[in-house]
Structure 1
Amino acid sequence: MTSTSSQRKVVVQVVQHLSPGGIESICLELQSFAGSNADVHLVSLEGRESQMVSLWPRLSQYAGVMHFLDKPPGLQPRLLLKLAALFKSLKADVVHTHHIGPLLYGGAAARLARIPVLIHTEHDAWHLGLDNHQSLASKCLKFIRPQLVADAEIVADHIRSRIPHAQPRVIPNGIDTRRFKPGDKAAARRSFGLPDDQAIIGCAARMHEVKGHDILLDAMFRLPPNVHLALAGKGPQEAHLQRQVRDLNLSDRVHFLGLVDDMPRFYQALDVFCLASKAEGMPLSPLEAQACGARAVITDVGGSREALCPTTGILVPADNSAALAKALRYSLRTTLSADPRDFVMQYRDIRGMVAAYDQLHSVAC
């Protein structure tokens, strides 16, 4: 089943769900930047294609290489056989799983199907603090024996401390610096209906409690009235956040943009990007924003500091709106002494990440 040098190798990536998010975006980029000698497929354990494409229109360009298994809640042993059959039908040479659920199903199915190369990437390790997750991950890694990758040094350190027999290598997340680049700020603001004569802070993240939007809104209340906030994304916390905005009398300064298709243009509209997360792996959005020329203020959680330009960016403690407001105020009034884009281009370009994974594809385990 292993490809020869003259054949195209088949890589199958397995995720829990193909909905807008950092892990899913990385998978799409790995598919898009695959070399001419590779066919990359995307398997979503949950959901149906029509449902996911309606939620994330970007997926429509990947028609033909996406496979949705519509997994119901709970443990589904039969899914192993279904996945193994899919891997065999695709003549997979490499199975690449992302996060613990896909490792359990995709990893075990890959072993059943005798796939020669199995890679697993952990994108955060906070869940290993839960005893049941730690036990499951430890057993999966010991039984399935994938080539283990962490997307940040701090994620690798957490894995080693929680699961001593696991020894991950680090391949940092990267973004496409040719797509994410500076542009016309005034035109970008007009396209989103944002004021051209005010300072704009922006955040791009799912509206989940862990992303800390509530802390960012509290920080906005502490900032002067000429500072506006643009929020890209949707999620279960959206209605709650809209109520918080009304309660804080910020309705004329906070702009809910929903899902944004043209993310480079969103970042080009900003003066400062802010991510107030309470937990992270290694986030992509600060890299994307900085590649577009925006400075970043982010909370010091997970691998966030590894996504921050050390010269122009500011780290703040999580769950502290006063410290966040102080950092944002400082960032807005300070002249940049360097270009945050330079950091991203040198250390976090997608092409370096893809090359590192390509090397793993040829290592049978």
Structure 2
Amino acid sequence: TEHDVWHLLDNKQLQMTKLMLRLNHITLVADAATVGTQLTRVLGRGVAPVTILNGIDTEKFSPSLNHKRYKYRSRVFKIGCAARLVTEKSLDILIKAVADIPNVELYIAGDGPEKQNLTNLVQELDLSTKVKFIGYTDDMVGFYHQLDLFVLTSSNEGLPLSILEAQSCNVPVVCSDVGAVHEGVCKQTGHLIKLNTVNEFHVAIQAQMKRRTEHYPRNFITKHFDIRMMIKAYNQLIKE
């Protein structure tokens, strides 16, 4: 199963994958339709992956019963991101995007080699009271339950589980439109950023703070990305 394609830009990875597909009888699965199309383009027209959408445990990732819906300026608006702290996640864009938005707090879960650079950026912008690095956490459900909005600024992605988990907890998302991210974003509650710039995210976050909707992203996730649907699809593929 392939979860993204951008790693195949590395020629060694590309040639190893092509060799594996030639030497063995392998069924190639893509976890999103966009990933499948990209795999065919990169690996050649003879490669036709089966698409089985990524799935999450929607019973585990369920909405908080205690989280009160944000009303404009009623309290601090809490934004979160969960990701490895690497350059591909472009977290510097997110930090800069919230810098001039009042009444906002940003919580970043995860660790990685970019942590010191990101910490330095927060200090340079005097955002230490607004931006919090909480490190690696085992309690992702508790993390999502704190949030009013989940933001993903990645420059490369497949179909990330984090946006599915957040929306399953009824947290809307704002995401860069890369890879297969668009397939996993609820159109009624989420927002896709075409240009991965500070200003685009700044405007989108402010719009989400004012947004009122009767739609809930969880409905979209339970319909398309429940892990039981994924398991059923893999079991059917094995039988075939």
Normalised to the residue count of structure 1, the TM-score between the two structures is 0.62
Equivalent position of 1:221 in the other structure: 99
Q: Can you list the C-alpha shifts for 1:141-161, whole angstroms capped at 9, x where unaligned?
A: 121231110011111011111
Does the 8 A contact of 1:298 with 1:315 survive in 2? Answer: yes
Equivalent position of 1:269 in the other structure: 146
Does the 8 A contact of 1:312 with 1:337 survive in 2? Answer: no
Task: State whether structure 2 residue 29 is matched by structure 1 residue 152.
Answer: no
User: Displacement of 1:166 after TM fit?
Assistant: 1.0
Paired AA for residue 80 in structure 2: G
Counterparts of 1:244 and 1:122 in 2: how far apart (Å)?
34
Equivalent position of 1:81 in the other structure: none
Task: State whether structure 2 residue 225 is matched by structure 1 residue 348.
Answer: yes
Counterparts of 1:307 and 1:252 in 2: how far apart (Å)?
32
Equivalent position of 2:107 in the other structure: 230
Q: Can you list the C-alpha shifts for 1:110-143, whole angstroms capped at 9, x where unaligned?
A: xxxxxxxxxxx01001122333333322221121
User: Equivalent pairs: percent with the same residue?
Assistant: 39
Task: State whether structure 2 residue 57 is matched by structure 1 residue 179.
Answer: no
**RCO higher in structure (CA 8 A, sep ≥6):** 2
Structure 2 CA distance for partners of 1:185 and 1:239, relative to 1, 3 Å = farther
Task: State whether structure 2 residue 205 is matched by structure 1 residue 331.
Answer: no
User: Displacement of 1:235 after TM fit?
Assistant: 1.1
Paired AA for residue 179 in structure 1: K
SS at match of 1:331: helix
Counterparts of 2:89 and 2:194 in 1: how far apart (Å)?
13
Count of matched residue positions in the alignment of Structure 1 and Structure 2: 234
User: Displacement of 1:211 after TM fit?
Assistant: 1.0
Equivalent position of 1:245 in the other structure: 122
Task: State whether structure 2 residue 193 is matched by structure 1 residue 312.
Answer: no
Equivalent position of 2:71 in the other structure: none
Worse overlay, 276-285 or 332-341: 332-341
Equivalent position of 1:142 in the other structure: 22
Task: State whether structure 2 residue 38 is matched by structure 1 residue 161.
Answer: no
Counterparts of 2:144 and 2:132 in 1: how far apart (Å)?
14
Normalised to the residue count of structure 2, the TM-score between the two structures is 0.93
Equivalent position of 1:211 in the other structure: 89
Does the 8 A contact of 1:185 with 1:270 survive in 2? Answer: no
User: Displacement of 1:292 after TM fit?
Assistant: 0.6
User: Displacement of 1:246 after TM fit?
Assistant: 0.5
Counterparts of 2:231 and 2:100 in 1: how far apart (Å)?
42
Q: Can you list the C-alpha shifts for 1:186-239, whole angstroms capped at 9, x where unaligned?
A: 59xxxxxxxx93000110111111111111111111322x11101111111111
Counterparts of 2:187 and 2:25 in 1: how far apart (Å)?
36
Structure 1 gap ranges (5+):
1-120, 188-195
Equivalent position of 1:22 in the other structure: none
Equivalent position of 1:114 in the other structure: none
SS at match of 1:147: coil
Equivalent position of 1:27 in the other structure: none
Paired AA for residue 146 in structure 2: A
Counterparts of 1:239 and 1:129 in 2: how far apart (Å)?
27
Q: Can you list the C-alpha shifts for 1:280-338, whole angstroms capped at 9, x where unaligned?
A: 01101011111111110011011111110011110003531110111111011101230
Counterparts of 1:136 and 1:165 in 2: how far apart (Å)?
16
Counterparts of 2:66 and 2:92 in 1: how far apart (Å)?
27
Counterparts of 2:2 and 2:132 in 1: how far apart (Å)?
33
Select the residue among 174, 180, 185 that pairs with 1:297: 174
Select the residue among 262, 276, 281 that pairs with 2:158: 281
User: Displacement of 1:360 after TM fit?
Assistant: 2.3
Counterparts of 2:164 and 2:144 in 1: how far apart (Å)?
10
The higher radius of gyration belongs to 1
RMSD, matched Cα? 1.6
Counterparts of 2:24 and 2:7 in 1: how far apart (Å)?
19
